[in-house]
Amino acid sequence: MSATDDIDDDDALAGEFVLGLLGREDEAAARARIAADPGFAARVEVWETRLAPLAESVEAVAPPDHLFAAISQRIAPAAGTPPRGVWASLAFWRMASVSLALCLSIALGALVYERLAAPSGGVEILASLAGAGEGTLIARYDPARAAFTFASTLPPLASGRDHELWAIVEGEAPVSLGVLPPRGLPLAVEARLRPLLRPGVTLAVTDEPLGGSPTGGPTGALVVAGAALGV
């Protein structure tokens, strides 16, 4: 990893700390670093300054209850199989819904990853994916590169398991976009799937067997999910 990559990672970490996206252990480690590392503390202060006007301009949004039931039905595993665990939990979707924190995370996430080149055309989307457990995934799709880039605080899975990314369009079954690559690497999107990637699409990540779901549909536990917004 180059020195430039280290700096970029520090910028992302500082932004995620200010936003409150870090898990308990990572947040505690970040606080300790702020106290011991003036350079990192300065990065945090920069993000706090950028965040202030965003917080004043965003209003909380309360989604209607029927929305969560509709999403829960769309992301049920195989047809005819009752949803299990968090897939059927309306409480999870309320937690992961678009709210003040989500809107703010998307706005700040766009700033944190502004080093990515802006696309010359098409639709660029950004989504902050959250769940019932610890960890968050910020996913950004750049149509100029036809690829996703990620910033993840998700805890590692057990051996022999992979995180798989899904696109969920209203009224349709979840479509796999691929297995999440190792940290720092992009995820290329097949040409046939690119029309799905537009503002309003729901992105979700599940815990699947190594290499991805063997059935073409979600088979494992839902890890995080969120709605994509245009950047």
Does position 100 have pLDDT exceeding 50, yes or no? Answer: no
Report the candidate in 3, 35, 1, 31 with the shortest Cα–Cα distance to residue 18: 31
171 vs 202, higher pLDDT: 202
In 41-174, the DSSP E strands lie at 125-129, 137-142, 147-152, 161-168
Same domain for 97 and 195, yes or no, is yes
Same domain for 87 and 112, yes or no, is yes
The torsion defined by the Cα of 213, 219, 220 and 226, in degrees rounded to 10, comes to 90
Same domain for 43 and 102, yes or no, is no
Same domain for 36 and 148, yes or no, is no
Containing structural domain, residue 33: 3-56
Q: What is the pLDDT of residue 164?
A: 95
Same domain for 152 and 45, yes or no, is no
Of 76-90, 130-144, 176-190, least confident by mean pLDDT is 76-90
Same domain for 15 and 122, yes or no, is no
Query: Across residues 84-93, what is the average pLDDT?
Result: 49
For residue 190, the SS3 value is: coil
Same domain for 143 and 202, yes or no, is yes
Strand order in the sheet with 187-188: 187-188, 147-152, 137-142, 125-129, 229-230
Q: Of the ranges 21-25, 119-123, 173-177, which is most confident?
A: 173-177
Determine if the pTM surpasses 0.85. Answer: no
Separation of alpha carbons 177 and 189, rounded Å: 7
Same domain for 162 and 209, yes or no, is yes
Same domain for 134 and 222, yes or no, is yes
Domain count within the chain: 2
- 176 DSSP β-pair partners: 166
Does position 16 have pLDDT exceeding 90, yes or no? Answer: no
Same domain for 43 and 67, yes or no, is no
- Report residue 213's pLDDT band, with 50, 70 and 90 as the boundaries: very high
Q: What is residue 118's DSSP assignment? A: P
Count of other CB atoms within 10 angstroms of residue 162: 18
CB 164 within 8 A of CB 206: yes
Does position 117 have pLDDT exceeding 80, yes or no? Answer: no
User: End-to-end distance of the chain based on CA atoms, in angstroms?
Assistant: 28
Same domain for 31 and 108, yes or no, is no
Same domain for 68 and 179, yes or no, is yes
